[in-house]
Chain A
Amino acid sequence: MSSLPQRADVVVIGAGIVGNSIVHHLADRGWRNIVLLDKGPLPDPGGSTGHASNFIFPVDHSKEITALTLDSMRQYEKFGTLTTCGGIEIARTEDRVQELRRRMSSATSWGIPSELISPQQVGELMPFLDTRLVRAGFWTPSAAVVDPLQTGVLMRQHAHELGALTVSASTEVLGIDTTPGRPRPVVARVRTDRGDIETDHVVVACGVWSPRIARMAGARIPLTPAVHQMIDVGPIPELAATGQEIAYPIVRDMDPLMYERQSGADLEIGSYAHRPILHDPDDIPSIEASALSPTQLPFTQEDFDPQMATALELFAPILDREDVGVRHAINGLLSITPDAGPLLGETPEVQGLWSAAAVWIKEGPGVGRMIAEWMTHGSSEIDLHGADITRFYPHQRTRSHVLARANEGFNKTYGIVHPREQWASSRPQRRSPFYEREQELGAQFFEAGGWERPQWYESNRPLLEEMAENAPAPEMLTDRPYEWDRRWWSPITNAEHLAMRQRVAMIDLSAFAQFEVVGPGALDYLETMAVARIDRPTGRMIYTPVLAPNGGFRSDLTIVRLGDDEFRIITGGADGARDLAWFTAHLPGDASVTLTDITSATCTVGLWGPRARDVLAAVTEEDVSNDAFAFGTVRPITVDTIPVLAARISYVGDLGWELHAPAELGRRLWDVIEEAGRPHGIVPAGIGVYGTTGRLEKGYRLMGAELEVEYDPVEAGLALPKVKDHDFIGREAYVRARGHEPAATLCTLTVDDHRDATGVRRYPQGGEPVLTTSGERIVDRKGRGSYVTSAGAGPSVGAYLLMAYLPPEHAVEGTALTVGYMGERLPVTVARAGRTPLFDPDDTRMKG
């Protein structure tokens, strides 16, 4: 029984695969005096690591998850705890065959050798399944099983050898104390049943218990324990005869949401098809009170019965025998989050309290390495914006929201999930003052950061006909022929776009996150945060990248100077919570700067199009001429009775303003603009225009798509002419990046021919691999493959547009390439290398 030190540099709570990996990598990065606690015994403390099925399929549609998985596989391999057995995802339906084709695209994008195979080939690889039920297989030879418990032992051993680690098993955390800090409380002490430890850093790697532990410090980790049912069936002589733990490929029977894998003489069968069975972290039994382990709960047979029939059918040759029995059956607990992503990084509520939760076995070692990098250097090599715990707004961290989304999301684990798919539960949450008006107009709402945002308006359907006459590509105003391509999409977006370009459109941008930054230290603070120079005259609007310490993108946003010591940060709704956490975490410790989130106090209408000035002039007494109100400036004006902060800027490339108003006057603002715009043919336009069509025509980059930590401003074409003198986060890396040719350049490509082999027009959605004309992968000198970061129509340029980072030899305008999409390859051409837009390249429209 080890005695606990009184002080530690970091306390990691939870000795599952994640906690073990974190202590290993922290030790590697020079951390000493690390304490690892678990309330259970070692090597299996009773969490999810101890009962997981332990197999790894590397291919995921998410680049981030795939990167974490690949990194983890390398680590498991290094420890000798990985057994490569290959894996097959099988399709029983035509929809799933399509999905497997999409899997192939993702596999190619992320550089994982995979193959679509016939039922016969499936039968050759896995001789015990009934191939008559199979339409196709997606074969990944590198799929593997791992031993996470043994990996954990070796990881701890490594940290021990470095003299960096104290492990205390069977130690229960009773509390995490904080001290008041500015702007948020700071971790001070972990209290346990074996003594207290003073520390500045606590990592919660407690899997399904994480919410309970984080709450001790006043933070929320939004996950819920959920049941995943597994059974072991055997003994099967054919499997026993191999003498190995696994000698045949793992099979994922995707349509019924199940998997089967050999485990010695048994076949292990798992399911994500049963009803969501959610638990409360406080109700997980103690080790003493549980029959097997706290995360292996009693099996509920009736939930599994249909899956049993399905597995029996597929593997009848070895399972349909009276002497092959169900030897083990559990309701295993795993963690489900509102969007199925992991929960990584420092919590927004408490300084020094880190979350490393909701991680699968396949990502554990990689997550450990990234957390260690992040804690040590302030950023991680793999972009984790989709896993960052600060991505959730407060309402999304509540238990009821987590439960609603977990209930809805559980069966999507093996489901076919469209990239634009919308959640149905726990909605609506955040509604702009325009919401009722938008409902009247038949808005199709998409959710972003909990906000209900109109994606398009059914009221604009007549525009499809009206705009067709002068449309550069009239087919863009008709529905797409292929169901997958048109799912969660409407050609109305393209009609709204053309109407905006011809007349004027009003767009609800209330989802913008807005922070007021005030105080004598405000300027200095913002200079430290932003790449662009902030010390500009009052009334200037500054678009700037915000970098991570490694020089990759953390955010891009605009900062408005409202006075000497008064600024406003305006950023996208989807990233608002992450940005708030980032800016808050870097506030100076003194009282020189105050940052206030004023998002809920404001609403925004975007007013753009050739007639925008006419509309605005009709409702304000201010002079809004180009001379009086120049592009890139901001001014308080009065619209009707409403005090408005008007910003002359555009993300869609047309003349106009963002009109920011007090939320309670928003409805009036909407009505005033709408009425004044009527003579000018104003239309409401959705985020489809703002975020996709208008943006892509103008070559504007989107955080999380083009912009992420793995690419720098030079590659993104967002490097500024000069490097300001003031130091800022990421400056050193930024300067270094400017010093040499970029490894890749962000380009805009056009699809030359949409027709697939059968002559049907197809539309890539994003994430697809960009290939040479002969179908070869394109990889830059840093080893990054080229893939489509954004895709969408350019109705005014008459072309379907894609963005992708390309290495210099391909980043040449006019270069012919192809894009892999659902088993087809479509010809594309590099139309722009760099940030020059395809539409109105000189910006005369918006600056005029």
Chain B
Amino acid sequence: MNVLVCVKRVPGTGSTILLTDDGMDVDTRHLGFTIGPHEECAVEEAIRIAADHGGQVTVLTVGPAEAAEQLRDALSMGADHAVLVDTGPGELDPEATADALVQAVRQLQDEAGARFDLVLFGNESADAGHYQVGVRVACELGLPMVGGVKGVELDTDAGTVRWRRPVAAGVEVYESSLPAAAGVAEGLNLPRYPSMRGRLRAMKAVITTLHVDVAPSGLRKTGLRRPAEERPATVVLGSGADSAGAVVDVLEELGVA
């Protein structure tokens, strides 16, 4: 069971998001970078699947050269191979990102002979949140794709996979034939912390670098801004247990108690 996981380098978050002076990007100077929470679960799931069913985990990213840091994070968790598609600094639109990933997967398949039984994505990226890159890649590769997945059951004999996802009304389970793709969501598992040995392995691991050509699509970002925050002053009801009366007054006023 070979699993490909696509991850994205995204900035960490503070309590307020600051922007660069030109308003085109998030100011990431003090935030550091990480793999998004959904994708961290995807990496964890892939490692567990490979451990349970055999096979290898390849982690793939499209982004700046620095995204190698996130690949090494995944390697230190236990991924076997890492592939970087260096598209330089600056944000790609979702079609271009998907295009780059598709070209990379084709290169891995056609030139390196790789075969992936499962391709996992985060349901949406933690920063841009376009909700479509995984779907686009799956469609191009002819794979079925379910999003919002929080449970995976493999039936290797039947060559199928069942995806469990919560929806407003309850829980849905989908079945797809392998090979298949999914967009997973946090809660699928509790990702492991990388071991020190894993870190050291990852430090020495060779990262495959691929080159692709991508063109921008019809969705063009013109800028980022923070919404005006209207924040009425907080009403302080009191402190400690003595505030209980004032709290319940408010609850009654709101009609909830």
Contact = CB atoms under 8 A, between A and B. Distances in A.
Interface stretch (A171-179, A296-304, A389-397, A698-706): A296-304
A312 B13 contact: no
B193 A326 contact: yes
Interface in A262-303: 283, 285, 287-291, 297-299, 301-302
A329 to B, nearest CB: 10
B199 interface: yes
A301 B196 contact: no
A325 B194 contact: yes
Contact of B196 (A285, A299, A311): A311
B196 A298 contact: no
A289 B31 CA distance: 7
A31 B196 CA distance: 52
Contact of B31 (A233, A298, A301, A324): A298
Contacts of B197: 312, 320-322
Contacts of B29: 283, 285
Nearest to B28: A298
Given A325-B193, A326-B194, A298 B200 contact: no
A309 B32 CA distance: 23
A842 interface: no
A308 interface: yes
B193 A288 contact: no
Given A289-B30, A290-B30, A321-B195, A312 B12 contact: no
A755 interface: no
A741 interface: no
A350 to B, nearest CB: 31
Contacts of B200: 305, 308-309, 312
B17 to A, nearest CB: 9
Contacts of A283: 29
Contacts of B198: 322
B16 A289 contact: yes
A297 B30 contact: yes
B48 to A, nearest CB: 13
A305 B203 contact: yes
A327 interface: yes
A322 B30 contact: no
Contact of A298 (B12, B78, B194, B195): B12
B130 interface: no
Q: Which of B15, B32, B194 has the most CB of A within 10 A?
A: B32
A161 interface: no
Interface in B1-42: 12-16, 18, 27, 29-33
A287 B15 CA distance: 8
B32 A289 contact: no
Nearest to B12: A291
B69 to A, nearest CB: 7
A833 interface: no
B72 interface: yes
Contacts of B78: 322
Nearest to A298: B32
Contact of A289 (B14, B195, B203): B14
A302 B200 CA distance: 10
Given A301-B72, A326-B193, A327-B193, A291 B31 contact: yes
B53 interface: no
B192 A325 contact: yes
Contacts of B12: 291, 298
A312 B32 contact: no
A324 B196 contact: yes
A298 B33 contact: yes
A353 interface: no
A299 B14 CA distance: 15
A319 interface: yes
Interface string B76-87: 001000000000
A323 interface: yes
B30 A285 contact: yes
B122 to A, nearest CB: 19
A322 B195 contact: yes
Nearest to B78: A322
Interface residues of B, number: 25
Contacts of B69: 301
Contacts of A308: 196, 199-200
B192 A291 contact: no
Interface residues of A, number: 27
Q: Which of B16, B194, B195 has the most CB of A within 10 A?
A: B195
A35 to B, nearest CB: 21
B199 A289 contact: no
Contacts of A289: 14, 16, 18, 27, 30-31
A311 B196 CA distance: 9
Nearest to B191: A325
B135 to A, nearest CB: 30
Contacts of B199: 301, 305, 308, 326
Nearest to A288: B16
Nearest to A320: B197
Contacts of A321: 195, 197
Nearest to B197: A320
Contacts of B30: 285, 289-291, 297-298
Contacts of A301: 69, 72, 199, 203
Nearest to B76: A326
A308 B29 CA distance: 25
Q: Which of A233, A291, A305 has the most CB of B within 10 A?
A: A291
A301 B194 CA distance: 12
A55 to B, nearest CB: 21
A311 B198 CA distance: 14
Contacts of B72: 301
A619 B33 CA distance: 73
Contacts of B15: 287-288
A104 B72 CA distance: 44
A289 B69 CA distance: 22
A311 B195 CA distance: 13
B196 A320 contact: yes
Nearest to B11: A291
B32 A297 contact: yes
A146 B237 CA distance: 35
A291 B34 CA distance: 11
A290 B31 CA distance: 6
A568 B52 CA distance: 86
Contacts of A233: 196
B130 to A, nearest CB: 23
Interface in B161-220: 192-200, 203
Q: Which of B69, B198, B203 has the most CB of A within 10 A?
A: B203
A283 B32 CA distance: 15
Q: Which of B31, B192, B199 has the most CB of A within 10 A?
A: B199
B14 A291 contact: yes
Given A233-B196, A326-B194, A290 B14 contact: yes
A634 B15 CA distance: 69
A299 B193 CA distance: 15
A287 B14 CA distance: 8
A531 to B, nearest CB: 54
B119 to A, nearest CB: 26
Contacts of A326: 193-196, 199
Nearest to A325: B193
28 contacts: A233-B196, A283-B29, A287-B15, A288-B14, A288-B18, A289-B18, A289-B27, A289-B30, A289-B31, A290-B31, A291-B12, A291-B13, A291-B30, A297-B30, A297-B32, A298-B30, A299-B32, A305-B199, A308-B199, A309-B200, A312-B196, A320-B197, A321-B197, A322-B78, A322-B195, A323-B192, A325-B192, A325-B194
Lowest 10 A-B CB distances belong to which pairs?
Answer: A298-B32, A325-B193, A285-B30, A288-B16, A291-B12, A312-B196, A322-B195, A305-B203, A327-B193, A291-B31
Given A289-B31, A311-B196, A323-B195, 19 more contacts: A285-B14, A290-B30, A291-B12, A291-B30, A297-B30, A298-B31, A301-B199, A302-B203, A305-B200, A305-B203, A308-B200, A312-B196, A320-B197, A322-B198, A323-B192, A324-B195, A325-B193, A326-B199, A327-B193
